[in-house]
Chain A
């Protein structure tokens, strides 16, 4: 969008608005997201080693059960109302790891519980998480296609 010519009133309003607007603490938010996100990933790493140690999973195959466990834990925490506080505090740090996926599913389910099980919970559960699944599957498809073609050509 190009710059529009503003009327004097708009100019005045803008100045007023800038005076009262709260400054976003970007650095603080980044730091919090870094710390909490890192903590979540550390827990994930620990769970991954747990699967390597006590079950027959290698580093390659331990990823799948680890993701499932992390999503399950975040679903439980969302249900108990703990994850909301965490999300408020950490922002992107709690939304970007897979745990954010579990949170998105369960919070939508809780929100629409009053509308009934079929049309409410069933229909709205994947309101947010649906886009994650769609774009995840689609981008995985594209990447796999590129890899297959490259392997056919003998580049990889």
Chain B
């Protein structure tokens, strides 16, 4: 009886200590569970012209049969492409990434591409997309956030 009580208490402590984190996901909380199909996000001034390129890229990536969700973020000459791979195709994730990078770099040599199939990158991309809808969200902040995502993508350990 006492043992069970101790165990319950420990579990209760673990749960209550790990709860409540204010930086958690807000609107984009379900981005990992369902397909979201966010439209491309542009972090520079002349939106219309750059939107065409970004949309083009998104259409190009969506042609891959192994994927089911794509998010594109564009900051000047850098473009972040995050996507989710169908579960059984995850064995070939490296090959898909290689193929995609090659295709994008050949088609759009002017831009540098950051390609990632990581859920975290996708989640962050969707979150950034959501916060860009808010007109008060400053461009400078968004760009800083973009750089943070790129840094996160290159982290290995």
Contacts and interface: CB of A to CB of B under 8 A. Distances in A.
Interface of A: 49, 52-54, 56-62, 64, 76, 80-82
B75 interface: no
Range, interface on chain B: 10 to 19
Contacts of B88: none
Interface of B: 3, 6-7, 10, 21, 23-25, 32, 118-121, 123, 152-153, 155-157
B123 A61 contact: no
A58 B3 contact: no
A64 B156 CA distance: 11
B120 A59 contact: yes
A58 B121 contact: yes
A60 B120 CA distance: 9
B54 to A, nearest CB: 23
Nearest to A62: B120
A80 B4 CA distance: 9
Contact of A58 (B7, B32, B120): B120
A11 B15 CA distance: 61
Nearest to B156: A60
A64 B6 contact: no
A56 B123 contact: no
A53 B3 CA distance: 33
Contact of B24 (A53, A76, A81): A53
25 contacts: A52-B119, A52-B123, A53-B24, A53-B25, A53-B123, A56-B152, A57-B120, A58-B118, A58-B119, A58-B121, A58-B153, A58-B155, A59-B118, A59-B119, A60-B118, A60-B155, A60-B156, A61-B155, A61-B156, A62-B120, A64-B157, A76-B10, A80-B10, A81-B3, A82-B7
A52 B120 contact: yes
B152 A58 contact: yes
A56 B7 CA distance: 30
